Structure 1
């Protein structure tokens, strides 16, 4: 049953909502528990709630009152890591928009679903984008693994509709995360973290396909044999080791002196992201070995 129309402020959806439609800053989200939908304005004001059809109709009415968005846009989707939300990409999103990209950080319920279910959500969203000719992905941590699962579905409908420009993975445990393996015996933590964290085990990561699109890697660390976290082997960003981020076939690799939680808003990373999306190079000079 549709809920009454009640424009209300929201927190934008954190761990219980997933964005399934996106256009001109408007988002339709689906609740991971109840399955009902809501339409959010660009300022995260709830404009409609209830069924998908009701929210889509409300979007069409509201969008008709605005100037149409430009056509042939380059969409950049920013995918956050586990326990995080789109807000973690705020500075990066604003910088990419200033550079002319149609950049949007999206929410997905990172602790409530599997990697495959997160990829399903992104498929639904990408199949419905308007006025977009190219798409790039900028990801942090587990968001990069979600993108790899998504891009591994080479026969998906959206792949025939959109050109994939590039994928950038920031602090992504491409080889799996040792810290995830250490946390698995702690049942209460794993219950909160959800099924996707189980899938960050190195054995599972080894089965993921290497992306068939151009991709780059940014890792955090100190540039020394011992990283920020003395409990992890080698250089690391407190959560993911530098070696865990590596993946054969990368166009470029960049090591930044930053910790995992904040690496995606580090000024050097924001600058490198813009350069990479445009040129395929992360830093001035020759590309580095992945």
Structure 2
């Protein structure tokens, strides 16, 4: 099984190394897709990812794993590629990846430092219109979300279960195949053995 990992905003492909190692040990062939939000708009990253997925699909069965913004990029790319009749992924895994606008991004979007560091991608996550335009995935999709975040009712999540960056409600949708909650914070989802276990279980490996 070929695996493509797409990291989250402000991270790098190295953030998925622990997870990729676990999958390699189980017999998967893994690779990563990298980008920098401070120099590249969402549309440009998405276009590069579409090409990368097409290349990956030509080598046989594959799955896609996206952390946070990486999952949004995967959904956007697949939305375009569904029309091109490329081989479908066996499964898609979204790790703490928002499906609706991010409350935290909306709160931070006016901040000059946030805007400078995250640019178009940060504004994308905060935009109701742009996030709504990223449609559902028609392939088997598992959302893996951490629930070891902030419980303070006055915080950005208003007491909802969350991983410190996104709430469970932000990563949920009726089109998902299933949703798995784990006691992990957002940043550690790509390095969790528990996440690797969920992925391998869904692949029956």
Structure 1 and Structure 2 fold alike (TM over 0.5): yes
Equivalent pairs counted in the alignment come to: 202
Are residues 127 and 231 of structure 1, via their aligned partners in 2, closer, same or farther at CA, if it must alter by over 3 Å? closer
Whether the aligned pair in 1 keeps the contact of 2:56 and 2:62 (CA below 8 Å) is: no
SS of equivalent to 2:44? helix
Q: Decide which of 103, 112, 116 is 1:178's aligned counterpart.
A: 103
**Correspondence list, 1:1-290, <5 A:** 74-129=1-56, 132-153=59-80, 154-156=82-84, 159-160=85-86, 162-203=87-128, 204-222=130-148, 226=151, 230-233=155-158, 234-278=160-204
Structure 1 outlier segments of 4+, above 6 Å: none
SS of equivalent to 2:139? coil
Give the greater-gyration-radius structure (CA): 1
Between the aligned partners of 1:172 and 1:109, the Cα distance in structure 2 is: 17
Higher helix share: 2
Q: CA RMSD in A?
A: 2.3
Between the aligned partners of 1:131 and 1:193, the Cα distance in structure 2 is: 33
Q: Which has the higher contact order (CA 8 A, sep 6+)?
A: 2
**What residue ranges of structure 2 are gaps of 5+ in the alignment?**
none
Whether the aligned pair in 2 keeps the contact of 1:226 and 1:235 (CA below 8 Å) is: yes
Q: How far is the alpha carbon of 1:141 from its aligned partner?
A: 0.5
Between the aligned partners of 2:33 and 2:119, the Cα distance in structure 1 is: 19
With the length of structure 2 as denominator, give the TM-score of the two structures: 0.89
Between the aligned partners of 1:112 and 1:87, the Cα distance in structure 2 is: 19
With the length of structure 1 as denominator, give the TM-score of the two structures: 0.64
* Residue matched to 1:55: none
Give deviations 1:192-215, integer Å, cap 9, x for gaps. 112011111251222221011110
